[in-house]
Structure 1
């Protein structure tokens, strides 16, 4: 049997905790434990002591207290007599710490079973569990397939409290009391339903605060599901309850941003820029302003705002001392308020589209601790590797050295890239098909930051991870009809996942060609051609890469099947780039057709295709066309014409620094 503590110390420590005198409460708890030294101590007393120490430390070293609570929970599991309110409170506190430490899935796995039985316990616990669950669902929405259904159940459960609160009076004026469960931001309640348990010793309901948070969560999930009209109504309800809070204003700005009313969105953000009530607001403000400028294609301004957002985000770790000085300190609240990962991802995307792949790579690497289960992250990291490779090849191609006949390969849809492939016999490479066994193991994909290098080998690993995650997410989609298959309430829809998959296959085909793996490139191209949905440009890339791969395998006949001249559009459009890139793509396609006919020694058809290629040839690619034309002139035994062409297209030599370290 457990020993009973001193009633006086129990009452004193409870009063001190409710008065937020946490240091004094901890001392009282220590005295209580000393009086019980050598006797069995109940888990509730141990629990309260851990929470008291945590609060008296101002949230420092949260991992230490999480470990203590987990140890206590394991002891309770051994001696468990069933699910009790005390055990649910312990699980809630553990989940709350894990949520603040951004261990979202672990917190969710603990909290969902608590919610299934929370109706049997106090409303104080029920409301806190519901609000914390909603926070986790919002964070995990991109990866958690049942977020809409589960969140709807939680909101419906909270709706019953909202209805009961309208029928009760006097609760809003009650003094708010503390709780030894931790300091969750959401207020909790005295039981609004007399039939429910926990009426006597639970904290009072603040009806106004409950209503504010309830409508705030409803507004967030309506925005999450793109239900703009209902989101507008819920935001108005929040502002009618508390017009001093900046959070509804942020939601209102996001709503206008989703409607593409960018000027109005910026105006709303500027109205709350000077709000000093929340230290996280400056970082959120600059991040959101940066996102708006990014959508307006004002990339330089967006880069400035993202840099400011990162700087402001670092300030949440600055703690002011009594003497006015500041020092850096990590507390529990700073973890959950830290938006560095989100801002880094936004910055990475901006730099990638601006042609700064090296900087983008570093940003994506930094954000991988949060987004490692998002297939888009792996696709973006791979695109950085491919962009750097293509840039190096482009620089090599622009060198003054004369190259043999080559085929410019098209660019994958991430950044402006162009490279060259020599269409000559290569040693056959043992290609492999893309199957489940090709993807890295779960612990490799989901183990956190990848810490890779800017190389094509690493790009291949990232692309396989992307494809694996896409398949895994698609397999978890519930069976539904066609009209429901568009959203599922996810930030990554089924159609978007298919687009991500096609982009990954396109990049993987490119990487396979660049690393002399034509069989893998053919497999990727065939998978792309099997896709019934998606942009037409992906099919174009598939034909392009398949033709090049077959040429590498000395199969020009198969290559020509992917390059039928009559199917080439006269005005090729590439949705990922602006002109004159479309002209470069069309020329590259025609160029490959010419080389393929040359390999088959069909010089007449090659000359015919070359005439069409010259009509679409951009000025920067003219030397490659001249080389082909000169080759055909030599094959036709017209060396004088070939000489004239080569003299006409002779490149100017560049200045080179010659030093002792240079070969």
Structure 2
């Protein structure tokens, strides 16, 4: 916190007694004797009731004396003092009160911004700090440096990296007369600099900012230099260990990153900046196991991180609803990162094949980060994965021949086999008590609402001819807290994934018209990856089939359209980063098998769909030909139950009853053998 240097004798209308009290208050404040400072300021307030500066200083002393626990009261006082400042600036103040200076107003605004930043209200803090930054040169050096440092922290937290880099350069010129690497410049002892200890502290802050920026830019080599410079000043610290671990993490050296984190403190230490180190530790270990493909183990560590976060909060009394910012120190008000950890946990559960747990986690997160379109997509994917998993369980139960035949009726020549029908009821959570689509539940109906929200949050993109690279066009940026903003080609990739999910959900809900529109819009996306083009063709054909347009469906089921199964054009890592270990392969369909693992499998899926369409046209010879081609690609082991039933159906419709019975008995289609 800062306070006005009230001992200045430049104010008119100040008596010698008032001036002496102001000097005594400042001396006690500088020596951290806040109780003495407050008693002196109370006397000064009695003498200068209309002076908002004295009221502000008294509020600061009271706040520090309470160990920063009475934040509600302090904020109300700041608002009152700011209103009084505005009143005095318009000429409505007493003649005995001197005009408000830039410094005095700057201290008040800085205090407000600091509270906003500690509460993670970065947008509000940014507005105030940018207002102060516009008069940066007019501020005293110490206050100007604090403003610039806090604004840099806000920029880094909101991923505005270019502005943060500009601020660092300004700080280097302000403190050291040039580059930080040149050592102590003209700023070491001049003005209100606080000595070499303060200069070393500022150097450490700047090296830390530069290391974090290089991490976000994935500039590993430069980041290692900054961390080394930071360690040379501060020695081994938790911050340095976390930065080193992040460097190794980006390089793909996950075991070394784990080793570095193992030496970090594991007790629930909360720093002055409101960071629970033990929670951060388990979060980072969870990220390491995620990259290693160990999703259940990763989820375990994220749960431990949540436990550490809750334990840090439980060490303080619960907050009162009437005064939610009082009772705990200011640093503890922003320590709660439960929803960020829940976001990570939900993703692990989604990748690990636990969609119902992922839904519960992400549903809690979306109440806080409701402006993140990627989060709405993940929530919809959890609903889709729950629906697909229920289908997978049914398929697993019907893989043997005993489950294919539901019942046998009659005997002898009158013996008939009743085939088990293919039904796909969506599995709903047992907690869902209402059938309303608006009620949160892992259903396709709720997934449709989530996808609509995700599309609504995405901006309209400029038109493109499809040939120019997306990174050369000016595309808007979408905030996606708690993660980095979405920009460039990533916006198109995100929208493509949303449209593909929308087409799938609409087909599952029996709405082929909406699915058709989503599939067409997906195919019109410039530079659409091959994997999404493949599913768009499948959804487009299925939509036409449900609408009875068989000829249009046939046009989109040609196996030659499958060229690649790439999902995203954006690389997951910087190609310039030297990776020690290759990234672990990601599971398909959020832990639910179903998406083709190879181009040949994708072509076989198209051929099976093509065979079904030929059966609907009663062209059974072409249906049999397409079916045999699919069987030759997949083989008898990977053949789905639908293909076996389709083979039996084709044999029945072509009059080969004995072959159809043999297919059902052996649970394997008959493929003609080549003659020698």
Deviation at 1:568, TM superposition (A): 4.6
State the secondary structure of the residue aligned to 1:532.
Answer: coil
Instruction: Give aligned pairs, total.
Output: 571
Residues 219 and 231, structure 1, Cα contact 8 Å, conserved in 2 = yes
Q: Quick check: 1:582 aligned with 2:596? A: yes
The structure-2 alpha-carbon separation of the partners of 1:315 and 1:16, relative to structure 1 and needing over 3 Å to count, comes to farther
Q: Deviations over 1:380-419 (max 9, x none)?
A: 111111111222344455476677886999xxxxxxx99x
State the secondary structure of the residue aligned to 1:595.
Answer: helix
Counterpart position of 1:315: 311
Deviation at 1:337, TM superposition (A): 3.1
Counterpart position of 2:244: 252
Match of 1:59 among 68, 74, 77: 68
CA distance in 1, matches of 2:606, 2:75: 59
The structure-2 alpha-carbon separation of the partners of 1:74 and 1:507, relative to structure 1 and needing over 3 Å to count, comes to farther
State the secondary structure of the residue aligned to 2:596.
Answer: helix
Counterpart position of 2:118: 100
CA distance in 2, matches of 1:635, 1:107: 73
Output aligned runs, 1:229-378, within 5 Å: 229-273=221-265, 278=270, 280-319=276-315, 330-368=328-366, 371-378=369-376
Counterpart position of 2:556: 562
State the secondary structure of the residue aligned to 1:337.
Answer: coil
Q: Deviations over 1:154-173 (max 9, x none)?
A: 11110113423999xxx99x
**Farther off after superposition, 350-359 or 243-252:** 243-252
Q: Quick check: 1:25 aligned with 2:43? A: no
The structure-2 alpha-carbon separation of the partners of 1:461 and 1:204, relative to structure 1 and needing over 3 Å to count, comes to farther
The structure-2 alpha-carbon separation of the partners of 1:573 and 1:29, relative to structure 1 and needing over 3 Å to count, comes to closer
CA distance in 2, matches of 1:57, 1:151: 33
Q: Quick check: 1:89 aligned with 2:114? A: no
Q: Deviations over 1:118-150 (max 9, x none)?
A: 111111111111111111112111xxxxx2332
Deviation at 1:43, TM superposition (A): 2.3
Deviation at 1:67, TM superposition (A): 4.0
**Farther off after superposition, 375-384 or 585-594:** 585-594
CA distance in 2, matches of 1:353, 1:98: 35
CA distance in 2, matches of 1:640, 1:528: 45
The structure-2 alpha-carbon separation of the partners of 1:120 and 1:488, relative to structure 1 and needing over 3 Å to count, comes to same
Output aligned runs, 1:392-431, within 5 Å: 392-396=390-394, 398=397
The structure-2 alpha-carbon separation of the partners of 1:274 and 1:599, relative to structure 1 and needing over 3 Å to count, comes to closer
Q: Deviations over 1:175-226 (max 9, x none)?
A: xxxxxxxxxxxxxxx97696xxxx46x8667111111111111111111112
Deviation at 1:261, TM superposition (A): 1.5
The structure-2 alpha-carbon separation of the partners of 1:363 and 1:474, relative to structure 1 and needing over 3 Å to count, comes to farther
CA distance in 1, matches of 2:647, 2:470: 55
Counterpart position of 1:441: none
The structure-2 alpha-carbon separation of the partners of 1:517 and 1:15, relative to structure 1 and needing over 3 Å to count, comes to farther
Output aligned runs, 1:603-642, within 5 Å: 603-615=620-632, 616=634, 619=637, 622-642=640-660
CA distance in 2, matches of 1:384, 1:131: 40
The structure-2 alpha-carbon separation of the partners of 1:366 and 1:396, relative to structure 1 and needing over 3 Å to count, comes to same
Residues 537 and 557, structure 2, Cα contact 8 Å, conserved in 1 = yes
Counterpart position of 2:203: 211
CA distance in 1, matches of 2:613, 2:31: 83
Counterpart position of 2:449: 461
The structure-2 alpha-carbon separation of the partners of 1:208 and 1:458, relative to structure 1 and needing over 3 Å to count, comes to same
Deviation at 1:255, TM superposition (A): 0.9
CA distance in 2, matches of 1:487, 1:255: 29
CA RMSD of aligned residues (A): 4.0
Counterpart position of 1:120: 138
Q: Deviations over 1:52-96 (max 9, x none)?
A: 232222222534433442343344345546982222222221111
CA distance in 2, matches of 1:155, 1:362: 41
CA distance in 2, matches of 1:486, 1:217: 27
CA distance in 1, matches of 2:378, 2:150: 31
**Farther off after superposition, 505-514 or 623-632:** 623-632
The structure-2 alpha-carbon separation of the partners of 1:3 and 1:630, relative to structure 1 and needing over 3 Å to count, comes to farther
Structure (1 or 2) with the larger CA radius of gyration: 2
CA distance in 2, matches of 1:572, 1:508: 19
Counterpart position of 1:431: none
Counterpart position of 1:515: 509
Which ranges of structure 2 fall in alignment gaps of 5 or more residues? 1-11, 91-99, 318-325, 407-417, 428-437, 479-483, 568-584, 669-676
The structure-2 alpha-carbon separation of the partners of 1:278 and 1:93, relative to structure 1 and needing over 3 Å to count, comes to same
Q: Deviations over 1:467-500 (max 9, x none)?
A: 333326999xxx9995698999966442233222
Counterpart position of 2:170: 157
**Farther off after superposition, 292-301 or 394-403:** 394-403
Deviation at 1:260, TM superposition (A): 0.9
Deviation at 1:516, TM superposition (A): 2.0
Q: TM-score, normalized by length of structure 1?
A: 0.76
Match of 2:540 among 546, 563, 573: 546
Q: Deviations over 1:347-381 (max 9, x none)?
A: 11111100111211222233335543333211111
State the secondary structure of the residue aligned to 1:471.
Answer: coil
The structure-2 alpha-carbon separation of the partners of 1:565 and 1:234, relative to structure 1 and needing over 3 Å to count, comes to closer
State the secondary structure of the residue aligned to 1:563.
Answer: coil
Which ranges of structure 1 fall in alignment gaps of 5 or more residues? 142-146, 173-189, 322-327, 410-416, 419-449, 651-663
Counterpart position of 1:148: 161
CA distance in 1, matches of 2:117, 2:369: 16
CA distance in 2, matches of 1:481, 1:547: 29
Q: TM-score, normalized by length of structure 2?
A: 0.75
